[in-house]
Amino acid sequence: PTGGPGTANRVTGMAVAYPALGLSYYRFRVSEVGQFQPIGAAEPVRQDQGLTGLLARSLAVSAFGATFGQSLGRHAVLASTVRLLRAGAAESTDVVSPDALDRAQDLKVRAQTKLDLDLGLMLRFGPLSLGGTLKHAGEPGLDLGSSKVLLRRRTMCAARACPRARGRSFSASHGDSAR
């Protein structure tokens, strides 16, 4: 939409963890209403205000994740998160101004389901810790009606040194950005 009355956001989330297992769930829904100019509209005349209607859009995403960690000897821990993503979007021009935002939040969203996988590894040798993660290993793609979203693979690595003598620590990290 090119502008309009506003947006509404609803977010729900929770997580539970035990040393070798973590469970998480989150859901968010973003709805917006704005005015639009249809493609191919006639030339505006003096009485025409240029904008002809309201467009209501809503995006809903839910994710349930399970994280598993396993020690590999004395110096390594391997962890993975398997995530079930469910996402969809809907839009409508059949809205009236006084309750347009409520109608946007009530739009029926046709959702699709995808699997996602994150991996992590941590190594520890005395005061030195090294770690790395790979997010969205399978690069799941979501078709959200008028747009497509690809969750690109991302990596991150980090190092930390914590000398025992002084209680100070030094750390550095690097990660690629979501392209």
Asked which of 20-29, 43-52, 170-179 is least confident by mean pLDDT, the reply is: 43-52
Got the DSSP string for 8-30? EEEEEEEEEEETTEEEEEEEEEE
- pLDDT tens digits, residue range 65-108? 999 999 999 999 999 999 999 988 887 777 666 677 777 777 88
Q: With cut-offs at 50, 70 and 90, classify the pLDDT of residue 2.
A: very low
Q: Is the pLDDT of residue 50 over 50?
A: no
Pairwise CA distance, residues 56 & 118, whole Å? 34
C-alpha separations of 86 from 45, 64, 118 in Å: 45, 9, 17
Average pLDDT taken over every residue of the chain:
81
Mean predicted confidence (pLDDT) in 4-13: 77
Residues 141 and 152: beta-carbon distance below 8 Å: no
Q: What per-residue confidence (pLDDT) applies to 165?
A: 62
- pLDDT tens digits, residue range 133-172? 999 999 988 877 677 888 899 999 999 988 766 667 777 8
Pairwise CA distance, residues 79 & 131, whole Å? 11
Q: What per-residue confidence (pLDDT) applies to 97?
A: 65
